[in-house]
Amino acid sequence: MGLGYIGLPTAIIAAKHGVEVFGVDINPKVVEMTNAGKLHIIEPGLETMLREVVAAGSLKAATEPQVCDAYFMVVPTPFKGDHEPDISFVESATRMVAPLLKAGDLYVIESTSPVGTTEKMAALISQLRPELDGKLFIAYCPERVLPGNVIHELVHNDRVIGGIDDASTDKAITFYSQFVQGTLHRTNARTAEMCKLTENSSRDVQIAFANELSMVCDRAGINVWELIELANKHPRVNILQPGCGVGGHCIAVDPYFITAAYPKEAKIIAKAREINNYKAQWCVERIKNAMLRFELDHKRKPRVAMMGLAFKPNIDDLRESPAKQITTSVMQSCNNADIMVVEPNITEHKVFKLTDYREAFDRADIVVMLTAHDPFKTLPWSDEKVILDFCGIYRKC
The catalytic site residues sit at 196, 250
Indicate whether 8 belongs to the interface with ligand SAJ (CB under 6 A). Answer: no
Stretch that binds ligand SAJ, among 9-17, 227-235, 248-256, 296-304 (CB under 6 A): 248-256
Closest CA relative to residue 225, chosen from 214, 236, 235, 237: 214
Nearer to ligand SAJ, 67 or 230 (CB): 230
User: Least distance to ligand SAJ from the beta carbon of 91, Å?
Assistant: 20
Reported as type and span, the H/E element at residue 283 is: helix 267-298
Nearer to ligand SAJ, 225 or 294 (CB): 225
User: Which of 7, 76, 85, 248 contacts ligand SAJ by CB under 6 A?
Assistant: 248
User: Least distance to ligand SAJ from the beta carbon of 358, Å?
Assistant: 23
List beta partners, residue 188: 163
DSSP letter, residue 225? H
User: Least distance to ligand SAJ from the beta carbon of 119, Å?
Assistant: 21
Interface of this chain with ligand SAJ, residues 37 to 56, rule: CB under 6 A: none
User: Least distance to ligand SAJ from the beta carbon of 297, Å?
Assistant: 31
Indicate whether 25 belongs to the interface with ligand SAJ (CB under 6 A). Answer: no
Count other C-beta atoms under 10 Å from residue 298's C-beta.
Answer: 10
Nearer to ligand SAJ, 6 or 360 (CB): 6
- In sequence order, what DSSP letters do the residues of 199-216 get, joined into one string? HHHHHHHHHHHHHHHHHH
Indicate whether 203 belongs to the interface with ligand SAJ (CB under 6 A). Answer: yes
Site map (CB under 6 A) of ligand SAJ, residues 72-111, x = contact: ----------------------------------------
Distance between CA atoms of residues 78 and 98, nearest Å: 23
User: Which of 52, 199, 218, 338 contacts ligand SAJ by CB under 6 A?
Assistant: 199
Interface of this chain with ligand SAJ, residues 276 to 295, rule: CB under 6 A: none
User: Least distance to ligand SAJ from the beta carbon of 246, Å?
Assistant: 4
Indicate whether 373 belongs to the interface with ligand SAJ (CB under 6 A). Answer: no
- Per DSSP, the chain holds a count of helices (H) and strands (E) of 13, 13
- Please give the C-alpha separations between residue 15 and each of 55, 74, 280, in angstroms, as whole numbers: 11, 16, 41
User: Least distance to ligand SAJ from the beta carbon of 313, Å?
Assistant: 7
Stretch that binds ligand SAJ, among 65-73, 126-134, 138-146, 373-381 (CB under 6 A): 138-146
User: Least distance to ligand SAJ from the beta carbon of 155, Å?
Assistant: 14
Stretch that binds ligand SAJ, among 36-44, 247-255, 285-293, 356-364 (CB under 6 A): 247-255
Closest CA relative to residue 242, chosen from 229, 258, 255, 256: 229
Q: How many CA atoms lie within 13 A of 44 on its CB side?
A: 10
User: Least distance to ligand SAJ from the beta carbon of 123, Å?
Assistant: 25
Distance between CA atoms of residues 122 and 9, nearest Å: 26
Indicate whether 207 belongs to the interface with ligand SAJ (CB under 6 A). Answer: yes
User: Which of 62, 215, 240, 346 contacts ligand SAJ by CB under 6 A?
Assistant: 240
Can you tell me whether residue 161 is helix, strand or coil? strand
Indicate whether 312 belongs to the interface with ligand SAJ (CB under 6 A). Answer: yes
Closest CA relative to residue 151, chosen from 286, 283, 23, 15: 15
Stretch that binds ligand SAJ, among 100-108, 133-141, 243-251, 351-359 (CB under 6 A): 243-251
CA 17 vs. chain centroid, Å, equals: 25
Closest CA relative to residue 135, chosen from 89, 167, 161: 167
Contacts 24+ apart (CB under 8 A), 387-394: 388/283, 388/286, 388/287, 388/290, 390/242, 390/243, 390/244, 390/283, 390/286, 391/241, 391/243, 391/244, 391/308, 391/313, 392/225, 392/241, 392/242, 392/243, 393/369, 394/369
Indicate whether 227 belongs to the interface with ligand SAJ (CB under 6 A). Answer: no
Distance between CA atoms of residues 36 and 63, nearest Å: 15
User: Which of 247, 302, 308, 344 contacts ligand SAJ by CB under 6 A?
Assistant: 247
Indicate whether 243 belongs to the interface with ligand SAJ (CB under 6 A). Answer: yes
Distance between CA atoms of residues 143 and 395, nearest Å: 33
Indicate whether 146 belongs to the interface with ligand SAJ (CB under 6 A). Answer: yes
Provide the binding-site residues for ligand SAJ, judged by CB under 6 A.
Answer: 112, 143-147, 199-200, 203, 207, 240-241, 243, 246-248, 250-251, 311-312
